[in-house]
Amino acid sequence: MTRRKKQNLQLIMVCSILLAIVLMTIFAPWLAPYDPLEVNMDLRLLPPCCAHLLGTDALGRDVLSRVIYGGRASLLLAVAATACSMGVGLVIGIIAGYCGGIVDGIITAISNIFQGLPGMVLMIALVGVLERNSKSIILALVITSWVGFSRLVRGEVMKVKSEMYIEGMRCLGSGHLRIILRHVLPNIRTNVILQFTTRLGRVVLSVAGLSYLGLGIQPPTPDWGEMVSGTARRYFRSAPHLLWAPGLCIILLTLSINLLGDLLRDRLDVKQDSVKEL
């Protein structure tokens, strides 16, 4: 029981950090003390002071305001891309697992090929070739990560499909769509949500990496990855303090997503075990 309480406490803590970051990005226009895009060449590279708590960057823009705004674009992009991968993986995985036979064979062969491709390499090349906008980034992320979802879903669907009650539903005259929506989907929900959290953490890092390379969120939109790369290229020696805030924000965001995934996994496993014991 104490273990359960400790887990609850940890879960609440992680959730509140995550919620704080999300709220910060949503309410950025009200929270930021300055306009994150306002250039002031008289105030270049100021160290942290009262008027500018985190100093100013090479163009005299307020770093605190840019940090507050910096999660907006990339977090939205990461959530959208992971949701799209999940959608594609879910549809393909259900088709493969539910239909079985030759359809499953073809889909498995194709996903083997996708799994054999080095994802990050393909992602950089795709975004590099396509036009620089969020559509290309989402496309690249979906192409490189739908397989993770579809494999999981396929396996789970096959497991559920072999249960007796599904056969029973068929005998009672339920349609395929009804079985998938009412019986298969609810059963695979937990695992899909867990996979979503795991993926989201990785996708946040991928988007930050792309922005660092100049292929992700495009300037002047404030973004944590872009802020780090802007500093690293020219002001690494003269103003290294500019690296800290955006970097720590990315770490905090990814860390809380990863911890949430871990805690949820522990929590849901415990529940399954106690059901088994009954």
Residue among 51 and 232 whose Cβ is closer to other proteins: 232
CA atoms of 266 and 93, how far apart (whole Å):
25
Among positions 18, 45, 255, 264, the unique one binding other proteins when judged by CB under 8 A: 255
Q: By CB under 8 A, which span of 9-17, 34-42, 76-84, 108-116 interacts with other proteins?
A: 108-116
Among positions 8, 16, 40, 112, the unique one binding other proteins when judged by CB under 8 A: 112
CA atoms of 98 and 244, how far apart (whole Å):
49
Nearest distance, CB of residue 37 and other proteins, angstroms = 23
Which tokens sit at 134?
């969020």
CA atoms of 89 and 112, how far apart (whole Å):
14
Which tokens sit at 257?
């997503």
Is-contact 32 69, C-beta < 8 A?
yes
Nearest distance, CB of residue 28 and other proteins, angstroms = 21
Among positions 2, 5, 237, 278, the unique one binding other proteins when judged by CB under 8 A: 237
Chain-centroid distance of CA 257 in Å reads 8
Nearest distance, CB of residue 229 and other proteins, angstroms = 7
Cis upstream peptide for 220 (omega within 30°) = yes
Residue 140 binds other proteins (CB under 8 A): no
Among positions 70, 97, 201, 216, the unique one binding other proteins when judged by CB under 8 A: 201
Is-contact 257 64, C-beta < 8 A?
no
Q: Which amino acid is at 103?
A: V
User: Using CB under 8 A as the criterion, which residues of the chain lie in contact with other proteins when the complex forms?
Assistant: 109, 112-114, 116-126, 128-131, 201, 205, 208-209, 212-215, 225, 228-229, 232, 236-237, 240, 243, 247, 250-251, 254-255, 257-259, 262
